[in-house]
Structure 1
Amino acid sequence: MIESKASKQMGHGGSGNYAMRERIQKIVFLLFKSAVAINGLALLIICGFVLYYGLPAMSWEFLTENPRNSMTEGGILPCIVGTIVLSYGALMVALPWGIATAIYLNEYATSPKLVRILRLGINNLAGVPSVVFGLFGLSLFVTVMGMGVSILAGVCTLGALALPLVIGASEEALRSVPQTYREASLGLGATKWQTIYRVVLPAALPGMMTGAILTLSRAAGETAAIMFTAAVFFTPEMPASLFDDVMALPYHIYVLATAGTEIEKTRHIQYGTSLVLISLVLGMNMVAIYIRVKMQKKMAR
């Protein structure tokens, strides 16, 4: 009888604890769902706001002509070209250096202390404000190296800014490659470099494309990093070389919204330019994602 009473008490206590855990779980899941809903709602509001005010500015003239009449009329073609050039230029600078650094840290470095110090520096570099990178580019690339305000100086500055993103994504991709791949390659007589070049890198390349996507997004939307190194208020001609200055969409928005001669008159151009910038970043990201998916399918065969 005593045992049956004890078991009943334990049963009641267990059911009570289970009911409490169920309530806590429902509360936690509700918080998670609320966070998702808030983020989704904020995204919809921002996109809807930009679409509502930006669509009236959309036209073939707006996308294919140069600005006119103190940038209160005409189009934004030089800004589109400049943004694409700076974004892909930054990718070409950051991707090789970032992948090479990740390979060294993950495959070659033998000193754990040195690796910790380097990773600490890379993580801190990722948190540096973009305006600091802009001042760094101004002092080093524009002044000391004599590049002037040019595409090349802007590309180098944006490449340095995006470098921590590429290194982080590349390291994660390299870690995801099973160690058995390396052991099998070395067991067949391949050298360390042959193993990395022919086995590890092809398997990690789709993951490394994540770094490329982040680089494109970051570079296309930067204003502070290029306002000291590459972007100008207005230029009547398309850039003909890497040493020419250039117009860019984010800097164009900043100029029209803060320093234009007739800010209210250009309000529709500001929103239209914002819509084009969002669409351009989305388009470049979709191209990179498509390439990554093709690589993943090729590796799965």
Structure 2
Amino acid sequence: FLNTVIRNLAGVPSIVYGLLGLAAFVVLLPQWTGGGLGGRTVVAGGLTLAILVLPIVIITAAEALRAVPTTIREAAFGVGATRWEVVRSHVLPYAAPGILTGTILSLARALGETAPLVLAAAVLGNFSQLGADPNGPYTALPVIIFNWARQPSADFREVTAAAIIVLLVVLLVVNATAIILRNRYDRRW
């Protein structure tokens, strides 16, 4: 039952997670997310994105653990290892590349999400100053790109193109990192 629920949560559109973040972190728990913005802060956005990627991380971790051959477990039990020793010394090292890859790819998905951030906390429209204060206002890079693309000035078109390239490069670097780490730590038995 729980596996079915988690798989269904992984397929929920990101806008629904944004509504959940708005209801949970902005409306119901503004004292925890802080700030004088009624809870619409970086903390609320971060928690919303964490809930968004959590089902994906759980699914990839479970698949990586299931991919460990039973012969490895049986061999470890056969030499007298306890259940904890089998998990710590044999199962987790074998599954670690898959878990790491799933986590990094989930991070890549979170980098490209805008809808949950806009609903949960991001500043829209024109803004003059955004700081690094976790209890202060913020916005998402895709929102900035959209606002710049609507400006009539040629300078904004150039800046928009540069911002798009930055976003693409960051996503490519994150995905390449996932592939490199998976290949580097992949164990052959």
Do they superpose with TM above 0.5? yes
In structure 2, relative to structure 1, the CA distance for the partners of 1:238 and 1:289 (3 Å cut) is farther
Q: Which of 280, 294, 297 is matched with 2:170 structurally?
A: 280
TM-score (norm 2): 0.83
Of Structure 1 and Structure 2, the greater helix share is in 1
TM-score (norm 1): 0.54
Give 1:120's aligned residue: 4
Give 2:16's aligned residue: 132
Identity %: 42
Q: Which of 148, 165, 173 is matched with 1:256 structurally?
A: 148
Amino acid across the alignment from 1:163:
L
Checking the alignment, whether the CA contact within 8 Å between 2:130 and 2:137 is kept in structure 1 is no
- Counterpart-to-counterpart distance in 2, 1:245 and 1:198: 45
Q: 1:228 is paired with a residue of what secondary structure?
A: helix
Give 2:129's aligned residue: 236
Q: 2:117 is paired with a residue of what secondary structure?
A: helix
Shift of 1:237: 4.2
1:209 pairs with 2:97: no
Once superposed, what is the RMSD of the aligned Cα atoms? 2.1
Shift of 1:279: 0.8
Q: Which of 147, 153, 160 is matched with 1:270 structurally?
A: 160
- Counterpart-to-counterpart distance in 1, 2:135 and 2:82: 42
Shift of 1:294: 2.1
Checking the alignment, whether the CA contact within 8 Å between 1:213 and 1:289 is kept in structure 2 is no
In structure 2, relative to structure 1, the CA distance for the partners of 1:181 and 1:245 (3 Å cut) is farther
Give 2:36's aligned residue: none
- Counterpart-to-counterpart distance in 1, 2:4 and 2:137: 35
Aligned residues: 178
Report the structure number with the largest CA radius of gyration.
Answer: 1
- Counterpart-to-counterpart distance in 2, 1:131 and 1:256: 23
Q: Which runs of 5+ in 2 are unaligned?
A: 34-38
Checking the alignment, whether the CA contact within 8 Å between 1:235 and 1:246 is kept in structure 2 is no
Shift of 1:152: 1.8
Shift of 1:235: 5.4
Amino acid across the alignment from 2:4:
L
Give 2:86's aligned residue: 195
Q: Deviation per CA, 1:218-272: give whole Å up to 9, x if none.
A: 11110101112242243524313x3333232122123334xx6xx2223333332
Checking the alignment, whether the CA contact within 8 Å between 1:165 and 1:214 is kept in structure 2 is no
- Counterpart-to-counterpart distance in 2, 1:190 and 1:206: 23
